[in-house]
């Protein structure tokens, strides 16, 4: 009987991928990827005027590769809006943004998307695109979500088709222990 606990411990030491450590639902980006304020530019006049909102706030970053926002992108933007509304009293600590990867021409965006008064539409500099491809390990997926802390570090990612309740749980924990933003 005394050998069984040692055998179980040895098994888990040899196969650490079996255990899920931590209580987070998203995948931590280790080490966090630092972004510079100069790597973002506004797509429209609203974003250009409110670009300073990225500093000092937690930011939900939706990725929009290509020149169009497809069904996955539209779903992710809707979910990020719902997450913002679910946060209640912490709504003022969070911002929403989408990063556009349009290298050629102007992106084809829906009228609802353009009229969203709380969504910052950002154009990514080539250095930022390279950093995002480093995070995802491939070209960015439509509908992927990243969390950026108030210091500009991309620190957590969620795959396309993420569950907004899991993101809300992670954000609630982050905002509760955060001393900044």
Give the chain's end-to-end CA distance (angstroms, integer).
52
> Has residue 141 got a pLDDT over 90?
no
* CB neighbour burial string for 102-131, b if at least 16 within 10 angstroms, e if fewer: beeeebebeeebeebeebbbbbbeeebbeb
CATH number of this structure's domain 36-173: 3.40.30.10
Query: Whose structure tokens read 């989408």?
Result: 98
- In sequence order, what are the beta bridge partners of 154? 33, 148
In the chain, domain spans: 36-173
Q: What are phi and psi of 180, to 5 degrees?
A: -125, 160
Q: Residue 162: how many CB atoms within 10 A of its CB?
A: 20
Q: What is the pLDDT of residue 162?
A: 93
pTM of the model: 0.82
Q: What is the pLDDT of residue 106?
A: 59
Q: What is the pLDDT of residue 46?
A: 83
110 pLDDT band (50/70/90 cuts)?
low
Q: What is the pLDDT of residue 4?
A: 93
Q: What is the pLDDT of residue 122?
A: 87
Q: What is the pLDDT of residue 109?
A: 64
Which residue in 109, 107, 83, 86 sits closest to 96, CA to CA? 83
Q: What is the pLDDT of residue 111?
A: 67
In angstroms, the CA 120 to CA 166 distance is: 23
In angstroms, the CA 93 to CA 76 distance is: 20
> Has residue 101 got a pLDDT over 60?
yes
Q: Residue 137: how many CB atoms within 10 A of its CB?
A: 6
What are the pLDDT digits (tens) for 143-161?
889 999 999 999 999 998 9
SS3 content of the chain, % helix, strand, coil (to 5): 45, 25, 35
What are the pLDDT digits (tens) for 158-168?
998 999 999 99
What are the pLDDT digits (tens) for 52-90?
888 899 999 998 877 677 888 888 889 999 999 999 899
Contacting residues for 178 by C-beta, under 8 A, at least 6 apart: 58, 149, 150
Look at strands 145-148 and 58-64 and give their pairing: antiparallel
Q: What is the pLDDT of residue 124?
A: 85
């Amino acid at each position: 009987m005394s050998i069984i606990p040692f055998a179980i411990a040895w098994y888990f030491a040899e196969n650490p991928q079996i255990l899920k450590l931590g209580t987070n639902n998203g995948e931590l980006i280790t080490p966090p990827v630092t972004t510079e304020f100069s790597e973002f530019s506004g797509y429209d006049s609203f974003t250009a005027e409110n670009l300073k909102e990225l500093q000092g706030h937690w930011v939900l970053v939706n990725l929009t590769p290509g020149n169009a926002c497809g069904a996955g992108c539209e779903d992710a933007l809707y979910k990020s809006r719902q997450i913002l509304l679910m946060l209640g009293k912490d709504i003022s600590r969070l911002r929403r943004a989408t990063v556009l990867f349009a290298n050629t021409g102007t992106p084809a965006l829906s009228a609802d998307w353009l009229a969203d008064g709380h969504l910052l539409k950002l154009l990514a500099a080539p250095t930022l695109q390279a950093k995002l491809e480093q995070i995802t390990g491939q070209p960015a997926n439509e509908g992927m979500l990243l969390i950026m802390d108030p210091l500009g570090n991309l620190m957590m990612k969620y795959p396309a088709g993420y569950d907004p309740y899991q993101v809300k749980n992670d954000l609630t924990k982050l905002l509760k222990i955060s001393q900044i933003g």
